[in-house]
Amino acid sequence: MDNILYKGYSISIEQDENPYNPRYYNDNLGIMVCFHGRYDLGDKTDLTSKMFENWNDLEEHLFKKERAKYVTPLYLYDHSGITISAEPFSCPWDSGQIGFIYTTSKRIREQFKHKKLCDIADDIIQQLLSEVKIYDQYLTGDIYGYMIKKDDIDIDSCWGFYGYDETLQEAKSIVDSYKETV
């Protein structure tokens, strides 16, 4: 727990011990298909590792049967905790491919209404990578909450912020809004 004094207010930043899983509660553009013997990762799908000989078979299935428009591999590093990325890790012993994140034309149309696919290709890829980053923050415990006090009186609190710096910035903006109204 960190305590920061800011403009006469005490801000406490703490790790969120009960964060929600962003794969269940967010309106995600991507679908994460992950296979691992010890961890239940990604989104719930009807796909299982037994259905495919290798990652290429799964990728081909995503394009042909699931009608994927964009597919990006996912990698897991498992050593004293787990972390996920769209880029391979350098350690060959504790890391490897875990699956894919993909999206379909239908999901793209739902989130990017009235836009041409060729005009938003970079936005789609960035959104998928952002979802991987958010999921990684969830897996690594990089989710926080703040509590604001003034003269030992609770003023405000909120939880579920991804990243320490973002949490502190939000808490400071709340203090700034209080200072403006006082």
pLDDT per residue over 51-82, tens digit each? 999 999 999 999 999 999 999 999 999 998 99
Q: Quick one: 43 and 117 in the same domain?
A: yes
Q: Quick one: 50 and 65 in the same domain?
A: yes
| Res 52: pLDDT | 98
Percent with pLDDT over 70 in the chain = 97
Structural domain total, the chain: 2
Model-level pTM? 0.90
**What's the pLDDT band for 182 if we cut at 50, 70, 90?**
low
Q: Quick one: 92 and 153 in the same domain?
A: no
- Structural domain for 110, as ranges: 22-140
Number of residues written out for the chain? 182
Q: Quick one: 154 and 169 in the same domain?
A: yes
Q: Quick one: 86 and 167 in the same domain?
A: no
| Res 103: pLDDT | 97
Q: Quick one: 11 and 62 in the same domain?
A: no
**What's the pLDDT band for 180 if we cut at 50, 70, 90?**
low
Buried b (16+ CB within 10 A) or exposed e, 166-175: ebbebbbebb
Mean pLDDT of 118-127: 90
| Res 38: pLDDT | 92
Inform me whether the pLDDT recorded for 170 exceeds 70. yes
Q: Quick one: 76 and 162 in the same domain?
A: no
Q: Quick one: 42 and 121 in the same domain?
A: yes
| Residue 35: C-alpha distances to residues 27, 40, 57, 106, 140 (Å) | 22, 8, 14, 25, 18
C-alpha 35/C-alpha 55 separation (Å) is: 10
Q: Quick one: 53 and 119 in the same domain?
A: yes
**What's the pLDDT band for 2 if we cut at 50, 70, 90?**
confident
Q: Quick one: 131 and 170 in the same domain?
A: no
Q: Quick one: 162 and 135 in the same domain?
A: no
Task: Identify whether the C-beta of residue 87 lies closer than 8 Å to the C-beta of residue 75.
Answer: yes
pLDDT in tens, 21-51: 999 988 999 999 999 999 999 999 999 999 9
Q: Quick one: 14 and 98 in the same domain?
A: no
pLDDT in tens, 104-121: 999 998 988 866 777 898
